[in-house]
């Protein structure tokens, strides 16, 4: 309902209803990921799947207001819910009448505050953290106020496992793919190119299979959160499956760009065991294509990682609106937050939810939007910050310091040691059988 013209500024603000800000449009760039530079030029570097530009068709056919995981009436998130315009198939965040009401309210606020259209209206908010660093986040967790934590992960959490990111000069994926004589680096992740020339991808796949790398302390930190009943979900861009190898159950993971846990034929959609793909790519000197076992089909089989021209997994669109509405702390680790819709998830938690970025450099910093009261989208680490904590450095160092502040260091070390011992023993057994 619109405020009456004679209402005071305070009353107008009391009537204001928060609306989640839209995020930037989906980017035309593959996601961060991975392969060891040390193994080049024999095979390549690792790669996270490229980003598609749409949600599954079924996911856009209904709507949801529910934030409960057990709700049976809720529908998947749609692309527009995380940014982009309605003309591109996105969902609007408010009705046209709400937009008119919002514009009128903002205009009246600007008039009363004597500011121009070029300025955003910001109001001071009470700090949600005692300090905007690891110590502040540790105090929040110790207070018992963070019991439903979401972790968002990018390629940076796997760097210490020997899996470089996309863009590092000289060692990143884009710097290493020129040996394949590709028309452009991310062609290796394009479905149309894969159908014509599959061997470059399968040469990469030879290095990507789970078991080639060991999880990092950051992966085990998420396992520790899960064991303590504090992890609501891990949303990861990476396709290396290291979260699973660290012991996180499948239910705790949303692989936004797929992974190597399953495979299927791109022609008939027949599921295939991952071992079928493994046998093909490791036969001979590597780089062999893998084909459907159904002889009448003969289509290519690939791991279920997301290529250009493919939709994000339905689980991403289903879980994001439910989990982010329930979260009480967001921890973002090892990602440049440059690719949407994944990057837009940082704005999908409620405005009263603290957020922590653990990264080598700042990422996802705020820009002013045109929403109610000139809302910001992204992190705010300077003036106006009321909830965003920052740690600049390697992810493993960051989580170790956080665990030390929480008194969890010995537990983390024990998880890392036990996990690595178990994985190394399994690798030795597999080698002995072969």
The residues carrying an active-site annotation are 257
Give kind and range of the element (H or E) at residue 279: helix 274-282
| Tokens encoding 97 | 């009448």
297 is in an annotated binding site: yes
* Angstrom distances, CA of residue 112 to CA of 7, 16, 116: 11, 15, 11
Side-chain-side CA neighbours of residue 328 (13 Å): 10
Exposure string of 26-62, with b = 16+ CB inside 10 Å and e = fewer, is bbeebbbbbbbbebbeebbbbbbbbbbbbbbeebbee
The number of residues making up the chain comes to 434
265 is in an annotated binding site: yes
Q: Beta 329-333 vs 258-265: how paired, if at all? A: unpaired
CA 219 – CA 426 distance, rounded (Å): 19
Give the residue among 163, 181, 168, 183 at the shortest CA–CA distance from 48: 163
268 is in an annotated binding site: yes
Strands of the sheet with 301-305, listed across from one edge: 271-272, 258-265, 301-305
Burial class (CB in 10 A: 0-12, 13-18, 19+), 91: middle
Specify which residues 271 forms β-bridges with.
264
For residue 65, how many other CB atoms are within 10 A of its CB?
10
Binding-site residues, please? 265, 268, 290, 297
Annotated binding site for Zn(2+): 265, 268, 290, 297
């Amino acid at each position: 309902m619109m405020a009456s013209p004679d209402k005071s500024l305070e009353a107008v603000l009391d009537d204001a209803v928060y609306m989640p800000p839209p995020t930037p449009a989906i980017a035309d760039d593959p996601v961060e990921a991975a392969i060891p530079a040390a193994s080049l030029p024999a095979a390549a570097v690792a790669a996270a799947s490229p980003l598609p530009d749409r949600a599954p068709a079924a996911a856009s056919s209904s709507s949801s207001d529910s934030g409960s995981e057990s709700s049976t009436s809720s529908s998947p998130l749609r692309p527009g819910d995380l940014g982009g315009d309605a003309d591109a198939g996105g969902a609007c965040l408010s009705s046209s009448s709400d937009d008119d009401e919002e514009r009128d309210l903002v205009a009246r606020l600007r008039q009363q505050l004597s500011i121009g259209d070029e300025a955003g209206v910001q109001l001071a908010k009470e700090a949600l953290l005692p300090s905007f660093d690891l110590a502040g986040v540790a105090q929040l967790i110790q207070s018992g106020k963070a019991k439903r934590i979401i972790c968002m992960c990018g390629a940076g959490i796997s760097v210490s496992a020997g899996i470089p990111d996309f863009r590092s000069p000289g060692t990143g994926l884009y710097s290493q793919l020129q040996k394949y004589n590709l028309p452009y680096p991310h062609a290796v992740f394009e479905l149309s190119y894969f159908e014509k020339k599959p061997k470059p991808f399968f040469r990469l796949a030879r290095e990507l299979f789970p078991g080639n790398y060991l999880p990092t302390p950051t992966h085990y930190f998420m396992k520790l959160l899960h064991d303590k009943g504090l992890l609501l979900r891990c949303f990861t861009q990476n396709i290396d499956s290291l979260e699973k190898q660290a012991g996180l159950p499948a239910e705790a993971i949303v692989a936004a760009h797929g992974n190597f846990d399953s495979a299927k034929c791109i022609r008939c959609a027949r599921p295939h065991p991952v071992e079928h793909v493994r046998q093909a790519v490791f036969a001979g000197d590597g780089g062999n294509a893998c084909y459907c076992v159904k002889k009448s089909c003969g289509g290519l089989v690939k791991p279920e990682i997301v290529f250009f021209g493919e939709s994000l997994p339905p689980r991403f669109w289903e879980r994001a609106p439910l989990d982010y509405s329930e979260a009480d702390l967001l921890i973002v680790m090892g990602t440049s937050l440059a690719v949407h819709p994944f990057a837009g998830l940082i704005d999908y938690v409620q405005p009263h939810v603290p957020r922590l970025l653990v990264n080598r450099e700042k990422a996802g910093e705020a820009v002013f939007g045109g929403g109610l009261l000139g809302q910001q989208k992204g992190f705010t680490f300077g003036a106006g910050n009321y909830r965003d904590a920052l740690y600049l450095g390697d992810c493993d160092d960051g989580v170790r310091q956080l665990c030390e502040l929480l008194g969890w260091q010995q537990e983390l070390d024990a998880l890392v040691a036990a996990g690595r011992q178990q994985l190394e023993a399994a690798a030795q057994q597999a080698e002995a059988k072969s």
